[in-house]
Chain A
């Protein structure tokens, strides 16, 4: 099913024209987005970006770079300079809008920051007017608030035709028990998002099932990964990582996936640090959702950056015939 009202761009193929949104048939059309990977994916979590691009290329989803886009600033910028934070978000959103495309990201925090700004611009016209006045004065195209902000995960579960997606799964997970780690910033606060959010969101569960895996529900799946207090409250952050990972492990998970580069960093890269902090071995391979999707699509593992993960998922995935 396709949600109504998306401001999506479809590339026409040689074989036919596309003028309505009804999912997309692989042979006829493809989705296009202004692509905003976020700072994490440009630096320490490059593998998430590489996997996202590889998967989208395979599915003929167009990801168009945004050369002028800056860091979204997360909540940190909103704390230091609230108006500047909105202007920075408006400038990013305006760049996507100028392309005539909705924006897509692979970072939960970027998703929340840009969705928050977009929501305010759409519901508080006086704020949009104030910010646009500043943008115009600075020579930036004003933002008309006509686009939506997507997570690439929502694209995969709610915009891409699921029959087509299933047909691309060459290496099904064969019942692999996968813990979905949603994190916070693609769920809360529910009202600001253009895609499925809130307490009842189940997009990661659905994706795992589509790949032939067994989604494992557990207590920590929509809690905080601690990334944003990684430096200010280090012990507490490690406690969060350990608690969430152990909760997944105790529920029988063999692998954990997340839709967020920052959650990947916390739950994956920091897992070893958290183990030492709480004095318990966890050893739960954590990967970005696009990496697992790519592996199931038989995309070369080098393209997916599996070698950059804290714990290699290779043995687990090999045991199930995925690699």
Chain B
């Protein structure tokens, strides 16, 4: 493996006397191979070039989640990331995780992240819905999400968390699904009710960034989709999120295509739609108002038959946990 010099462009952060974070970029040259990890390079810098550089690390085995940081624009575990995979023209840019308060250099306050985890009650609760007589397959869905190591990569790259400080975030929702899908959980319905509130499961924008960036393949967005399905099945259909999803379902069943003309009213109600009149007028000027008579797809009777058969038979099509192969 050839050795070459890489430039590490690291965001240095420190608190001023006034308590404000002051940021600057500092460059270091590190001799390394393509397969050298970013963490090894950071240790080299701290050990031989700049002892003041501050970052978190612990296990070096992608299991503790301590060394999550922004590396070349995305949040990754430094101990799992090879320099060659993230360098651009020989430069690796390193910054602290986003969507969390910075403490120093690459270290952030993970308190707000764990506050969100605590909000979903990350423990089994006793209650009427607990079932202890279960087979191995009952844990298929639990096993989907128990690989989460709480590193916060998904939360740091979450596009909704970036604009919404209230959003609970993908890690907490994946953790919530872990309990909702656990047959031993006694408060499944109560959990789904809480998760149907504002800034919870219906606020995910479905951008799949969390699926892409999770270092443990937890796929939080998939868990969020399943949570929503379970919430709807339990009858939690209030709010624009569930109403919007149900409108899709009704339209496809009825005409095959969306009735975009009525979609807004059905999602946010008449009063909500009236508040959007300014926006609507703006669209009308550009001829961007959908037709009240939506397109109808051909052979719609096929669709009705499909729907009826599925309502009768209800086949299980949920993705199942894959066997975890040690890395």
A residues at B contact (CB < 8 Å): 39, 42-45, 67-71, 73-84, 86-88, 91, 112, 120, 127, 130-131, 134-135, 137-140, 184-185, 187-190, 198-199, 219, 223-224, 226, 228-229, 231-233, 236-237, 239-240, 243, 265, 269-270, 272-273, 308-310
Given A127-B317, A139-B302, decide whether A76 and B163 contact each other with a Cβ distance below 8 A.
no
Q: Beyond the given A68-B297, A87-B306, please list 11 additional residue pairs across the A-B interface where CB-CB is below 8 A.
A: A73-B249, A77-B248, A79-B229, A79-B232, A82-B318, A83-B317, A84-B252, A91-B306, A134-B309, A188-B207, A232-B267
> How far does the alpha carbon of A237 sit from the alpha carbon of B251 in the complex, in Å?
24
Within 8 A of A (CB), among B181-236: 202-203, 205-209, 211-212, 219, 225, 228-229, 232
A187 to B283, CA, bound (A): 29
The reply on B51 being an interface residue by CB < 8 A is no
Is the CB–CB distance between B258 and A71 below 8 Å?
yes
A240 interface neighbour in B159, B309, B318, Cβ under 8 Å: B159
Contacts of A74 in B (CB 8 A): 248
Q: Answer whether residue B256 sits at the interface, using C-beta atoms and an 8 A cutoff.
A: yes
Query: With A70-B256, A79-B245, A229-B160 as given contacts, are A137 and B305 in contact (CB-CB < 8 Å)?
Result: yes
20 A-B Cβ contacts within 8 A? A43-B290, A71-B252, A76-B244, A76-B245, A79-B229, A82-B317, A83-B317, A84-B249, A84-B306, A84-B310, A88-B306, A130-B315, A135-B306, A199-B74, A223-B209, A226-B205, A231-B264, A231-B272, A233-B203, A243-B162
| B160→A88 contact, CB < 8 A | no
Please give the distance in Å from A76's CB to the nearest CB on chain B: 4
List chain A residues, Cβ under 8 A from B317: 82-83, 86, 127, 130-131
Whether a CB of chain A sits under 8 angstroms from the CB of B61 is: no
- Kindly name the residue among B164, B267, B298, B315 whose own CB sees the greatest number of chain A CB atoms within 10 A: B315
| Distance A309 CA – B282 CA, assembled complex (angstroms) | 11
B248–A232 CB distance below 8 A: no
A79 to B307, CA, bound (A): 15
In the bound complex, do residue A236 and residue B257 qualify as a contact, i.e. CB atoms below 8 Å apart? no
Q: A71-B251, A232-B267 are in contact. Are A78 and B225 (CB under 8 A)?
A: yes
* Chain B contacts for A88, CB-based, 8 A: 252, 303, 306
Asked if residues A43 and B291 are in contact (CB atoms below 8 Å), the reply is yes
Please state if B306 and A232 are interface contacts (CB–CB under 8 Å).
no
Q: Is the interface of A mostly helix, strand, loop or mixed?
A: helix
Given that A188-B207, A239-B163 are contacting pairs, would A42 and B295 also be in contact in the complex, using a CB cutoff of 8 Å?
yes
- How many chain B residues touch the partner (CB < 8 A)? 70
A236 in contact with B248 (CB, 8 Å):
no
* B→A interface (CB under 8 Å): 73-74, 159-160, 162-164, 167, 202-203, 205-209, 211-212, 219, 225, 228-229, 232, 239-241, 244-249, 251-253, 256-258, 260, 263-264, 267-268, 272, 279, 282-283, 286-291, 294-295, 297-299, 302-303, 305-307, 309-310, 313-315, 317-319
Determine whether the beta carbon of A83 is less than 8 Å from that of B212: no
Q: Hey, which chain B residues are within 8 Å of A87, CB to CB?
A: 306, 310
What residues of B have a CB within 8 angstroms of the CB of A140 in the complex? Answer: 302, 306
CA distance A241 to B264 in the complex (A): 19
Contact B240 A232 (CB under 8 A): yes
What's the minimum C-beta distance from B21 to chain A, rounded to whole angstroms?
19
Contact, CB under 8 Å: B318 / A80: no
Contacts of A243 in B (CB 8 A): 162-163
Bound Cα distance from A77 to B229, whole angstroms: 10
The 6 A-B pairs at the shortest CB distance, nearest first, are namely A70-B256, A138-B305, A239-B163, A188-B208, A224-B207, A76-B248
Using CB atoms, name the residue of chain B closest to A198.
B212
The residue from A73, A137, A232, A269 contacting B309, defined by CB atoms under 8 A apart: A137
Within the assembled complex, what's the spacing in Å between the Cα atoms of A189 and B154? 13
| CB nearest to A79 among chain B residues | B228
CB contacts (< 8 Å) of A68 on chain B: these are: 297-299, 302
Complex alpha-carbon distance, A240 and B203, angstroms:
13
User: Within the complex, what minimum Cβ distance (angstroms) separates A301 from chain B?
Assistant: 15
Q: Please name the residue on chain B nearest to A46 by beta carbon.
A: B287
**Cβ contact within 8 Å between A228 and B205:** yes
Decide if A308 touches B249 in the complex (CB within 8 Å). no
Q: Hey, which chain B residues are within 8 Å of A224, CB to CB?
A: 159-160, 205, 207, 209
B212 engages A138 (CB within 8 Å)? no
Bound-state Cα–Cα, A184 to B239, Å: 25
CA of A224 to CA of B205, assembled, Å: 7
> Within 8 Å CB of A84, what residues of B?
249, 252-253, 306-307, 310
What distance in Å separates the Cβ of B250 from its nearest Cβ neighbour in chain A?
A: 9
CB distance from B322 to the nearest CB of A (A): 11
Residue of A nearest to B249 (CB): A80
CB pair B310 A134 closer than 8 Å: yes
